[in-house]
Structure 1
Amino acid sequence: MAELTVYPETLRWATRVAKADPSAVSRHKGLQDFPLWLEATDPITVSFQKVHDLAVVLQTSFGALVRSALPDESEDELVRYRTVGNETVEPSKNLLDTISMMRARQNWARDELIQDGLSENALVGSVSGSASDEDLAQAILDALRLDEQWAKGTGDERVRFNKLKERASAAGLMIMQNSQVGHQRRPLNIEEFRAFALVDDVAPLIFINRNDSYAGMLFSLLHEIVHVLLGEPEIYDDAGLTPAGREIERTINRAVMKSVLSDEDFAVLWREQLDAGLSRLEAANAISQEYGLSALAFGIRARQADLADEQLIEQLRDQMQQDLRAREHERRKSSGGNGNATNASRLDTGFVRLVKGGIESGTLSYTDGFGLLNIKSAKSYDGLLAAKGLG
């Protein structure tokens, strides 16, 4: 059975954070020696399976348990002053653990890129906070080298989203996604957050909550790309579709929609749908199908242009909630699909390439590399590389 080196200090940290009773942990199958691991002074050797089982019991990530250095325990600046509707919001452990995992990846990638001689990413903070929505929309297209019709009619919402994700990755933005914390069955709540941006001048990172629809994820990714361009970190907890919030957020939301379809083209297209006999609800859904953002997003856009009323918005909100409930139901029934493809979808291609380079050059151990990738075996590593086209 494959084995890993783990560090007692790391195990003690994970136990303390989880507020776990070592004796209770030891009663789980295969973990009877856990109290002895905590008392050890030198690194110990533990099987992959036992580390995996321990991560489940402690509700922490597999990668966190195989770290050779303890993470920074200070409260992350991303959540320190977070408010929603002027109310202070207490972040969930799932959100905090996800941010911590992404910070660890970002910090490692930053150091690695600097050692490789790469300087600052020119996109970070390249746009003024006073930019108009038109300017921000154009900045998105320029940064990712997209033409004005990039979102139109791909025929597959997954293909459209992945196209944007790979363009962002090619521009030096690390794009990660997941529906849960690591490999654990701790789902991420889209009511709490849909995405977040960890802004860094060398290794900017965007995380997308995979429990959202493709239309929602497309909006979130575009929204967070703008935050990188502005140099502003953010946790995005809105569908991008409510009138409340800071003016800059409303400006960003308008920019996102304009980067997909200009005001002029939208107005023409909307009237064409109605002239063809479609209801306003049907028109919003038809444009959504063609351009990838949600029907609600386009309904609100029509309302802002005095082309629709609030009744349509309420209909579209109800429709979105029904769609999300149906998606959640399907997710719960899902067996998980192809493990290698799932791992590949969660990880930024450039990041995987960077880890692969570190392992092959000898600057990164397999244990630390597997921890960064949150995988548990050489077989999973080879499968990940193959799925990413890096094998």
Structure 2
Amino acid sequence: MNPEVFQWARESSGLSVDEAAHALELGSAEKLIKIERGEEVPTRSVLLRMAKRYRRPLLTFYLPRPPRAGFRGQDFRTLPAKPPVSDEALLDALIRDVNARHQLLKSALEDEGALEPLPYVGSKTLASDPARVAESIALRLGVNRDAFRAQKTTEAAFSYLRAGAEQAGVFVLLVGDLGNYHSALPVETYRGFSIADPIAPFIVLNDQDARSAWSFTLLHELAHIWLGQSGISGGRDDQEVEKFCNEVAAAFLMDAVELDPLADALQGEDLGLVDELSEFAGRRNLSRKMVAYALLKAGLVSHARWARLDAELTNRWLKEKQKRKADAKTKDGAPDYYTVRRHRLGSAMLSAVRRNLSNGNLTVTKAAKVLGVKPRSVTSLLSKPPALG
């Protein structure tokens, strides 16, 4: 075995020598250093722990040399600060997993036959009018703004858009970690990820984000699909393509003239404005941060004031998130594992796997990989459709 592979696997997982030695239960960092120098050969049990802790297949450690970086698509992110190496390592692991699941599902769909490339993938360019692109997306999904706003909650509004995307052939997944809360990916690292494949387009949303933001991010990623661009989104919209996709999402969700009712609140204190825009957003199933940003884009608040509003909204969201977690611990009848997993996977994914498992295009093992569960959980997971909302 090439010792360079061991060092590469550890470094790409975001672990220091000391952290990795502890995670691998080696007793001391010196033992791991010897393995990475080629002075000592790891036992089978150590290799298995490496595969788990470094989030790599066991066969990785038998490669003759470290592999090239995995396919990320384009990185559309403009981040205010360089993210921690550990977060980037988690993101790489997530993207590797999503790409593997995508390839397995796509192969199964191709085995079904009679598939035509989806005409909307790559049908627009940055020269297109964002409002017209928003209209094209709405028409293809069979959705409209009035029906979106008529939904009783922001979660229901998102489900309305997601159902439209899925019936149009887009698989929409909610993935915010790698299976446990220790591997949760902060929204500062990524908000959305798209694979603009004409046969099986994928959109992955970070469900660590505020639920009211999911709809905007879904529309943003759909714009990437319409542009035919695969990649990661998040951070500021400094790049031209990110500005374009944000404009597409905003064009569907709200017209700038709708901000007029906030004119009086704009003359008052920041906290009063936050209260008003929160109520404004809530009535329309919109993200409060999106409304605050719309005020900045319209020139109605300065950048300094927008930054204060954004900070206050973040603070309120964190408090609300903590309260929901506390309430969930004491609340009876919380959704079980399978209900949560079905919601994250979506109806399109569950239906496609159920169908291809039945016709033999997917084995139970491959179906488990696509669904991101253990093989023994496949039957229970596919036993009924996901709950709406």
Does 1:60 pair with 2:55? yes
Letter in 2 for 1:382: S
Letter in 1 for 2:55: T
Does 1:93 pair with 2:86? no
Q: Which residue of 2 aligns with 1:115?
A: 111
Does 1:207 pair with 2:204? yes
Letter in 1 for 2:69: E
Provide the rounded CA distance (Å) in 2 between the counterparts of 1:172 and 1:314: 38
Cα deviation, residue 357, structure 1: 2.1
Letter in 1 for 2:95: I
Unaligned runs of 5+ in 1: 1-8, 28-33, 40-50
Does 1:84 pair with 2:78? yes
Question: How is 1:271-350 mapped onto 2 (pairs within 5 angstroms)?
Answer: 280-310=273-303, 312-326=305-319, 329=322, 337-350=335-348
**Compared with structure 1, are the counterparts of its residues 181 and 85 closer, same or farther at alpha carbon in structure 2 (3 Å cutoff)?**
closer
3-state DSSP of counterpart to 1:185: helix
Contact persistence 1:193–1:237 (CA under 8 A): yes
Provide the rounded CA distance (Å) in 2 between the counterparts of 1:76 and 1:57: 18
Which one is further off, 109-118 or 201-210? 109-118
Cα deviation, residue 380, structure 1: 5.5
Contact persistence 1:274–1:283 (CA under 8 A): no
The C-alpha deviation readout for 1:251-282, integer Å capped at 9, x for no partner, is: 32122112012334x1455469889xx95433
**Compared with structure 1, are the counterparts of its residues 282 and 37 closer, same or farther at alpha carbon in structure 2 (3 Å cutoff)?**
closer
Which residue among 202, 220, 228 is the counterpart of 1:223?
A: 220
Contact persistence 2:125–2:227 (CA under 8 A): yes
Q: Which residue of 2 aligns with 1:173?
A: 170
Cα deviation, residue 209, structure 1: 0.5
Letter in 1 for 2:285: G
Q: Which residue of 2 aligns with 1:186?
A: 183
The Cα RMSD (Å) is 4.0
Cα deviation, residue 192, structure 1: 0.7
Letter in 1 for 2:293: I
Q: Which residue of 2 aligns with 1:5?
A: none
Cα deviation, residue 136, structure 1: 2.1
Does 1:360 pair with 2:384? no
The C-alpha deviation readout for 1:279-298, integer Å capped at 9, x for no partner, is: 54333212210222222321
Which residue among 127, 135, 139 is the counterpart of 1:138?
A: 135
Q: Which residue of 2 aligns with 1:3?
A: none
Q: Which residue of 1 aligns with 2:146?
A: 149
How many residue pairs get aligned? The number is: 347
Contact persistence 1:194–1:236 (CA under 8 A): yes
Contact persistence 2:77–2:232 (CA under 8 A): no
Q: Larger % of helix: which?
A: 2
Which one is further off, 88-97 or 113-122? 88-97
Contact persistence 2:162–2:172 (CA under 8 A): yes
Q: Which residue of 2 aligns with 1:4?
A: none
Contact persistence 2:346–2:386 (CA under 8 A): no
Cα deviation, residue 227, structure 1: 0.4
Contact persistence 1:155–1:290 (CA under 8 A): no
Provide the rounded CA distance (Å) in 1 between the counterparts of 2:118 and 2:382: 27
Contact persistence 1:211–1:328 (CA under 8 A): no
Q: Which residue of 2 aligns with 1:370?
A: 368
3-state DSSP of counterpart to 2:173: strand
3-state DSSP of counterpart to 1:111: helix
- TM-score, normalised to structure 1, is 0.74
Give the fraction of aligned pairs with identical amino acids, expressed as a percent. Answer: 18
Provide the rounded CA distance (Å) in 1 between the counterparts of 2:202 and 2:76: 19
Q: Which residue of 1 aligns with 2:241?
A: 248
Letter in 2 for 1:102: V
- TM-score, normalised to structure 2, is 0.75
3-state DSSP of counterpart to 1:196: strand
**Compared with structure 1, are the counterparts of its residues 332 and 78 closer, same or farther at alpha carbon in structure 2 (3 Å cutoff)?**
same
Unaligned runs of 5+ in 2: 12-19, 28-41
Provide the rounded CA distance (Å) in 1 between the counterparts of 2:303 and 2:10: 46
Cα deviation, residue 358, structure 1: 2.4
Q: Which residue of 1 aligns with 2:69?
A: 75
**Compared with structure 1, are the counterparts of its residues 183 and 66 closer, same or farther at alpha carbon in structure 2 (3 Å cutoff)?**
farther
Provide the rounded CA distance (Å) in 2 between the counterparts of 1:16 and 1:25: 19
